[in-house]
């Protein structure tokens, strides 16, 4: 049930629930979450509705996956009659804006910015927390003049609708996340100066991380060394024919935080890929011959017959590069394999009690339709940053 003294929020484009997990940990009240993909919503529902009873879901809205445009069409009156919604969080899917993939202005997902604005018009929340990739701030035209970026368009739209707006690109590695992940963060507020949000997260982050018991900077080794294959393996509990990993001893404060509220005997979603022998040999060569933390040379990639633009050997002593939705972009720092779903989740700061649903991977044309576990995590807002943001927004 809703605590009237706490901020209430709606999560748009919720994915598997990263920002909602953070806001739950910060003590905010969830009203409902909108997510189109069935498997991403299954993960959110299992963890935040079934296990944590986080949302005070309205009776008029079935607890299922929804496209935002269907919500706008079918429940327009219900949305406009919502009273005193404090906060709307989330941002449209980022693939068309991303600087790491192929940028595409005509990507239909980019049009969801307009749907977002329509939702805000109907609900009229006091405050907005909007997140997207750094490429959201870059126009699509070639040359020095890149044209108007979507970030400029949304700032103008929200200003026209009566919001004070402030936006910055933040690097989540500065807030305890073991990953160099730069994201566009926009705060809109009807009654407050949104600059105060950015001032407050800087002011509060040191105490926040101290209270969590972790340092400001966490490395890949800090995040996942207790999940290495050398700690032992079992038959995968959810995929016949695969092996999964066991827990090793926690050797960092970050690992202890991630395992703090987990009562599972073995890590969830810690299934190792069934690499072919030639793939293992390729990764062993990379481990022995390539420089960690750097993009593997084109000549080496060509010798392996891969056309991947980005492929790196992870550096255990640094935060991870930005996680994408594709696990074979990165080679584990001391084992000839890609990272597991659980290792992805650790680097995104999902604690070990958060269990993922659906396929592990997908490929080909299905990439645009399916949202397997790696993709769910790669698209998420790190819950640790979401919690810090929630603590600030709860007092905003």
CA terminus-to-terminus distance, the chain? 22
Give the Cβ contact number of residue 347 at 10 Å.
Answer: 27
- d(C-alpha 195, C-alpha 166), whole Å: 6
Locate tokens 């024919």: which residue?
A: 241
Burial of 1 (0-12, 13-18, 19+ CB in 10 A): exposed
- d(C-alpha 348, C-alpha 323), whole Å: 8
Is 94 labeled as catalytic in the residue annotation? yes
- d(C-alpha 155, C-alpha 336), whole Å: 45
Cα dihedral 180, 173, 360, 362 in deg (nearest 10) = -30
- d(C-alpha 65, C-alpha 223), whole Å: 32
- d(C-alpha 100, C-alpha 136), whole Å: 12
- d(C-alpha 348, C-alpha 380), whole Å: 8
Give the Cβ contact number of residue 301 at 10 Å.
Answer: 18
**Cα torsion angle, 107, 109, 113, 119, sign:** positive
Give the Cβ contact number of residue 326 at 10 Å.
Answer: 18
How far is the CA of 232 from the CAs of 101, 247, 249, 305, 359, in angstroms? 36, 8, 12, 32, 24
Both tokens assigned to 130? 């909007």
> ∠99-103-107 over CA atoms, to 5°?
135
Catalytic residue among 16, 65, 94, 290: 94
Closest CA to 315 of 281, 292, 335: 292
Distance, C-alpha 85 to centroid of its chain: 24
Enumerate the active-site residues. Answer: 94
């Amino acid at each position: 049930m809703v605590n009237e003294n706490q901020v209430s929020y709606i999560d748009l484009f919720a994915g598997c629930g990263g920002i909602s997990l953070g806001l739950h940990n910060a003590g905010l009240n969830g009203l409902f979450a909108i997510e189109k993909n069935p498997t991403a919503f299954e993960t959110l529902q299992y963890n935040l509705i079934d296990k944590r009873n986080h949302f005070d879901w309205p009776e008029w809205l079935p607890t299922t996956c929804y496209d935002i445009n269907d919500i706008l069409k079918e429940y327009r009156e219900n949305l406009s009659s919502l009273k005193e919604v404090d906060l709307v969080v989330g941002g449209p899917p980022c693939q068309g804006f991303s600087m790491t993939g192929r940028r595409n202005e005509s990507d239909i997902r980019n049009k969801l910015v307009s749907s977002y604005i329509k939702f805000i018009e109907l609900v009229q929340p006091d405050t907005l927390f909007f997140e997207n990739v750094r490429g959201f701030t870059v126009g699509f035209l070639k040359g020095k003049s890149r044209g108007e970026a979507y970030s400029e368009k949304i700032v103008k739209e929200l200003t026209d609708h009566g919001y004070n707006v402030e936006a910055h690109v933040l690097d989540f590695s500065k807030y305890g996340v073991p990953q160099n992940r730069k994201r566009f963060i926009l705060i809109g507020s009807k009654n407050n100066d949104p600059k105060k949000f950015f001032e407050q997260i800087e002011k509060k982050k040191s105490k926040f991380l101290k209270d969590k018991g972790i340092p400001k900077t966490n490395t890949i080794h800090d995040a996942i060394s207790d999940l290495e294959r050398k700690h032992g393996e079992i038959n995968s509990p959810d995929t016949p024919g695969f092996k999964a990993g066991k827990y090793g001893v926690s050797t960092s404060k970050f690992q202890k935080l991630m395992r703090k509220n987990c009562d599972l005997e073995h890590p969830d979603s810690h299934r190792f890929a069934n690499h072919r022998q030639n793939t293992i040999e390729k990764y062993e060569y990379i481990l022995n011959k390539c420089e960690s933390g750097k993009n593997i040379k084109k000549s080496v990639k060509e010798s392996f017959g891969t056309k991947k633009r980005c492929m790196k050997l992870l550096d255990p002593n640094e935060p991870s590069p930005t996680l994408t939705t594709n696990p074979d972009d990165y080679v584990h720092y001391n084992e000839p394999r890609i990272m597991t779903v659980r290792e992805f989740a650790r680097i995104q700061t999902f604690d070990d009690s958060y269990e993922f649903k659906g396929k592990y991977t997908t490929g080909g044309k299905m990439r645009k339709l399916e949202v397997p576990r790696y993709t769910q995590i790669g698209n998420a807002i790190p819950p640790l940053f979401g919690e810090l943001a929630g603590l600030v927004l709860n007092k905003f």
